[in-house]
C-alpha cells in the first residue's frame, strides 16, 4: 500500500500506472491530488473487503467464546435474562389432536407455584456435588415417568393415587431446580425413593385395570411429562452455564455477599488484550472508534533491530579541566571563556584520581555520546595532558615547589619584519622582556597602552612560536575584545565591563591555573592582563568584609589574590616559565586606583611607563624612556649592547620625556635595526 506522502512525491504518469494496477478509475483530465485521493480510496476499499469489521466488537470474557449480557437486577422486580432464557412454552399451550385436556385443580395450583418460583430471581452459583446428584435423580424420575406413560392407566382409585404420586414427584424435582443447599436436598431424595416404590407397586394393578377415560387420562399424563421434561432440561442448562462461568472466573462467586439487592451490583467484564494493534481498530470505553489504522503499519513486517553503532572513542575533544568540590570535574570550552556551557565534558572522580588531574589541565581526549538520562558527553580516554602523555604528567612537581629564577632568555621583538615597528624596537632596547618576566605597564588613560600590547603580543608570537600566549581582558569594552581577538595571534579570554565581578574573578582564576599547569609540564606561557587594576577592583568587590578598610575603600585582604596572580610569574629552573605583562592605571581620579598601583609597584621586575604629554602631542609610542627599565637587564643583553645602551641612557638622563622621545625617535627612524641605531649613536 502507498501512503499519501509517497503518492504526492510521484509524478502523474506514475500515479496513473498505480491506479491502473489496483483498478482505480481515473480520467486524463484529473489533477495530481484527485488521482492521489482516488488511489487512497481504492486501497481503503480493497482493505475493507479483506478485513470487514462487521458488527461492533463486543466485550468478551477471557474463556467464554459467546457473548454474555450485562444486566442489572433491582430487587425482586428486575428482569433476569437467565430466567427469561430458560423459560419455555408449556406443553399445554399446544392443541391436542382430539380434544383439550382438562387440568385438575392440583395441576393448576402446581403450575401457579412453579410460575411464582420462576418469577423470583435466582442467584448464580457454582455446581456442587449435590447438584450433580440431583441431576441424576431427575433423570431417573424422568425415565420412571416415561415407563408409566407407556403403560395403561388404572381405574379412578388408582388414577388419583398416581396423580398424587406425580405431584409429589414434581414437588421433589422443583426444589432441585431452585439450587437449594445440600442439606435441603436429602429429604427430597428419600421422598423420591418412597414415591418410586409407590409407583412400582401400583404398576401391576394398572396393567389389568380398565377405564372409560383412558384417552383423556393419557393426554393429562403426557402434558405433565412434557412439563417435567422441560423443567429438567432448563435446570440442566442453567447449571451448565453457572459451571462454565465459575471456571472462567477462577472459581470465584459472581454474587457479592453484601449485595444490597437494589440494582447497584454489576458484573466485571475483562477484555482480552489485543496484541496486534494493526489487526483491529481502536475503540474507547464506549465502543466508539478512536483512531483509524494507518496504512504504513497495516502490513509492517517485524524486522530484527540492527545493533546500534558504538561511537565510543571516536569523537575527540579538548578543554580546560575544572574540578568541583565533590571530586568530579568538567572540561570547559574556550568558546565560552571557560565558563559552564553545553559543550562541557564530564570527567568522573576515578579518572581524576587515576591520572592525577588538577584544575587548569588542558586535556585532549575521546568522548562518547551521552546515554539516556545523561546531560554531558562523558570522557572515555585521555590522549594528552598539557601536551604530554598521561604517564609523564602523573609524577609532575607542583608549581609551588618549582624553583624560580631571574629571567635569563629575552623575548626578541625585532626579528620578524612584519611585526617590527618603532614601538617594539624601543621596548626591546630600553625595557627588554625575558621569559618569566613580571612586567608592569603603567599608563594614564588614552596613552595607547592597548595598541602597544597588541604590537608586543604579535611580535612575541611571530618570533617565539614555542611560547603560548593568552590575552586576558578584564572589565574592558566589548568592541575592544572583538578587535583584540581579530588582530592578535593569541588566545583571547575576556569578561567585559557589563559582567558581574564574580565572572571576572572566576575567569582570571581559571586562566592562571591553566598557565600554572602548562608551566609544570615545561612550557613557556605569556599572559597579557588588561588591566590588573580592574581585576583588583573585582577582587575587592567579591572579597568578604574583613573590617579593615584602606584609603579609597580598598579592603585590607582584597588585594591578596590579585598579588598572588601577578606574583605567579617566574622563570623556572630546568625549563618552563610564566610571563605576565599587566597594565596598571594611574591618574584616573580614583583614590582606589592609586592605592592599587602602590601595592603592585614594587612587585614587578620590569616597568614601562607611558606619558600623557607624549600622547597629547601625538608622539607614539608614548613611552617615558627615562622612567622605563628592566631589573637585571644585564642577563638579557650582551655586553656590547649594554655598553652602548649605557651611553644612550647617560645622554638622555637630563632630558624630559618629550625631548628624549623626540631625540631617540629621530635616530631610530633613520636606522633599520637596533644594532645599527647603537652604532650610529656611538659614532
Question: In the structure, what pLDDT confidence band is assigned to residue 182 with cuts at 50, 70 and 90?
Answer: very low
Rounded (5°) CA angle 275-280-281: 120
CATH class assigned to 404-681: alpha beta
CA dihedral 514→517→523→529, nearest 10 degrees, is: 30
315-395 and 404-681 in the same fold: no
Residue 294 is assigned to a ligand binding site: no
User: For the chain, first and last CA: distance in Å?
Assistant: 100
pLDDT of 348 higher than 50 = yes
Residue 434 is assigned to a ligand binding site: yes
pLDDT of 209 higher than 70 = no
Residue 78 is assigned to a ligand binding site: no
Tell me the pTM. Answer: 0.57
Closest CA relative to residue 539, chosen from 486, 475, 626, 619: 475
Residue 450 is assigned to a ligand binding site: yes
What pLDDT sits at residue 141?
76
Question: In the structure, what pLDDT confidence band is assigned to residue 22 with cuts at 50, 70 and 90?
Answer: confident
Pairwise pLDDT comparison (646 vs 223), residue with the higher score: 646
Query: pLDDT, tens digit, for every residue of 616-641?
Result: 999 999 999 999 999 999 999 999 99
Architecture of domain 315-395: Beta Barrel (2.40)
Pairwise pLDDT comparison (81 vs 8), residue with the higher score: 8
What pLDDT sits at residue 220?
76
What pLDDT sits at residue 629?
94
- Going from N- to C-terminal start, the domains of the chain cover 4-48, 315-395, 404-681
pLDDT of 677 higher than 50 = yes
| Burial letters 226-258, b for 16+ CB under 10 A, else e | ebbbbbbebbeebbebbbbbbebbeeeebeeee
Residue 394 is assigned to a ligand binding site: no
Residue 438 is assigned to a ligand binding site: yes
Question: Residue 84 CB: number of other CB atoms within 10 A?
Answer: 10
What pLDDT sits at residue 276?
53
pLDDT of 658 higher than 90 = yes
Question: In the structure, what pLDDT confidence band is assigned to residue 63 with cuts at 50, 70 and 90?
Answer: low
Residue 604 is assigned to a ligand binding site: no
Question: In the structure, what pLDDT confidence band is assigned to residue 1 with cuts at 50, 70 and 90?
Answer: confident
Report helix angle 657-670 to 674-682, nearest 10.
110
Pairing outcome for strands 577-585 and 570-572:
antiparallel
Residue 261 is assigned to a ligand binding site: no
Residue 447 is assigned to a ligand binding site: yes
pLDDT of 665 higher than 70 = yes
For residue 318 the three cell numbers come to 579538548
Averaged pLDDT for residues 182-207:
44
* SS3 call for 630: strand
Averaged pLDDT for residues 222-239:
81
Pick from 277-286, 295-304, 318-327, 621-630: least confident: 295-304
Amino acid at each position: 500500500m502507498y501512503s499519501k506522502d509517497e503518492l504526492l512525491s510521484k509524478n502523474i504518469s506514475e500515479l496513473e500506472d498505480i491506479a491502473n494496477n489496483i483498478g482505480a478509475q481515473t480520467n486524463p483530465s484529473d489533477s495530481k491530488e484527485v488521482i492521489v485521493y482516488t488511489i487512497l480510496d481504492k486501497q481503503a476499499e480493497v482493505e475493507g473487503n479483506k478485513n470487514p469489521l462487521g458488527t461492533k466488537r463486543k466485550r468478551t470474557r477471557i474463556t467464554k467464546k459467546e457473548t454474555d449480557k450485562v444486566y442489572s437486577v433491582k430487587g425482586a422486580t428486575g428482569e433476569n435474562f437467565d430466567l427469561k432464557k430458560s423459560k419455555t412454552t408449556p406443553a399445554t399451550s399446544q392443541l391436542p389432536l382430539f380434544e383439550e385436556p382438562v387440568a385438575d385443580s392440583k395441576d393448576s395450583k402446581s403450575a401457579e407455584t412453579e410460575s411464582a418460583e420462576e418469577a423470583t430471581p435466582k442467584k448464580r452459583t457454582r455446581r456442587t456435588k449435590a447438584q450433580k446428584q440431583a441431576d441424576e435423580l431427575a433423570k431417573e424420575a424422568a425415565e420412571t415417568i416415561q415407563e408409566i406413560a407407556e403403560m395403561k392407566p388404572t381405574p379412578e382409585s388408582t388414577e388419583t393415587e398416581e396423580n398424587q404420586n406425580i405431584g409429589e414427584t414434581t414437588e421433589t424435582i422443583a426444589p432441585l431446580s431452585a439450587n437449594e443447599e445440600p442439606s435441603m436436598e436429602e429429604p427430597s431424595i428419600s421422598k423420591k425413593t418412597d414415591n418410586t416404590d409407590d409407583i412400582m407397586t401400583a404398576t401391576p394393578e394398572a396393567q389389568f385395570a380398565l377405564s372409560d377415560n383412558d384417552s383423556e387420562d393419557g393426554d393429562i399424563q403426557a402434558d405433565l411429562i412434557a412439563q417435567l421434561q422441560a423443567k429438567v432440561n432448563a435446570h440442566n442448562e442453567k447449571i451448565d452455564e453457572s459451571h462454565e462461568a465459575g471456571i472462567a472466573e477462577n472459581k470465584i462467586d459472581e454474587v457479592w455477599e453484601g449485595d444490597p439487592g437494589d440494582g447497584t451490583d454489576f458484573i466485571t467484564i475483562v477484555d482480552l488484550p489485543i496484541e496486534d494493534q494493526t489487526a483491529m481498530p481502536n475503540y474507547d470505553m464506549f465502543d466508539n472508534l478512536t483512531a483509524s489504522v494507518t496504512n504504513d503499519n497495516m502490513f509492517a513486517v517485524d524486522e530484527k533491530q540492527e545493533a546500534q553503532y558504538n561511537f565510543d572513542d571516536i569523537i575527540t575533544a579538548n578543554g580546560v579541566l575544572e574540578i568541583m568540590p565533590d571530586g568530579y570535574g568538567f572540561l570547559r570550552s574556550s568558546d565560552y571563556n571557560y565558563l559552564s556551557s553545553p559543550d562541557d565534558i564530564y570527567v568522573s572522580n576515578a579518572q581524576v584520581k587515576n591520572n592525577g588531574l588538577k584544575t587548569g589541565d588542558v586535556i585532549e581526549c575521546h568522548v562518547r555520546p551521552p546515554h539516556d538520562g545523561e546531560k554531558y558527553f562523558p570522557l572515555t580516554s585521555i590522549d594528552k595532558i598539557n601536551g604530554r602523555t598521561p604517564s609523564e604528567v602523573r609524577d609532575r612537581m607542583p608549581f609551588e615547589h618549582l624553583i624560580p629564577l631571574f629571567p635569563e632568555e629575552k623575548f626578541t621583538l625585532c626579528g620578524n619584519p612584519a611585526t617590527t615597528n618603532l614601538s617594539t624596537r624601543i621596548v626591546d632596547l630600553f625595557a627588554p622582556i625575558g621569559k618569566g618576566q613580571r612586567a608592569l605597564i603603567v599608563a594614564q588613560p588614552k596613552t595607547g597602552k592597548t595598541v602597544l600590547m597588541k604590537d608586543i603580543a604579535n611580535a612575541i608570537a611571530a618570533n617565539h612560536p614555542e611560547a603560548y600566549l593568552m590575552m586576558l581582558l578584564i572589565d574592558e569594552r566589548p568592541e575592544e575584545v572583538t578587535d583584540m581577538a581579530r588582530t592578535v595571534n593569541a588566545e583571547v579570554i575576556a569578561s567585559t565591563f557589563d559582567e558581574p565581578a564574580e565572572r571576572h574573578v572566576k575567569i582570571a582564576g581559571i586562566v592562571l591555573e591553566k598557565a600554572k599547569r602548562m608551566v609544570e609540564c615545561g612550557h613557556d606561557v605569556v599572559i597579557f592582563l588588561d588591566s590588573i587594576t580592574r581585576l583588583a577592583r573585582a577582587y575587592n568587590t567579591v572579597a568578604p568584609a574583613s573590617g579593615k578598610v584602606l584609603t579609597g575603600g580598598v579592603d585590607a585582604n582584597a588585594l591578596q589574590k590579585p598579588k598572588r596572580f601577578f606574583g605567579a610569574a617566574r622563570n623556572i629552573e630546568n625549563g618552563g616559565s610564566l610571563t605576565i605583562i599587566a597594565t596598571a592605571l594611574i591618574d584616573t581620579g580614583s583614590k582606589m586606583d592609586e592605592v592599587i598601583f602602590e601595592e603592585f609597584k614594587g612587585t614587578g621586575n620590569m616597568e614601562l611607563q607611558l606619558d600623557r604629554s607624549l600622547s597629547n602631542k601625538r608622539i607614539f609610542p608614548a613611552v617615558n624612556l627615562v622612567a622605563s627599565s628592566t631589573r637585571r637587564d644585564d642577563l638579557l643583553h650582551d655586553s656590547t649592547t649594554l655598553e652602548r645602551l649605557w651611553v644612550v641612557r647617560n645622554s638622555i638622563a637630563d632630558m624630559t620625556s618629550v625631548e628624549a622621545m623626540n631625540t631617540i625617535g629621530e635616530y631610530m627612524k633613520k636606522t633599520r635595526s637596533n644594532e645599527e641605531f647603537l652604532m650610529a649613536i656611538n659614532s
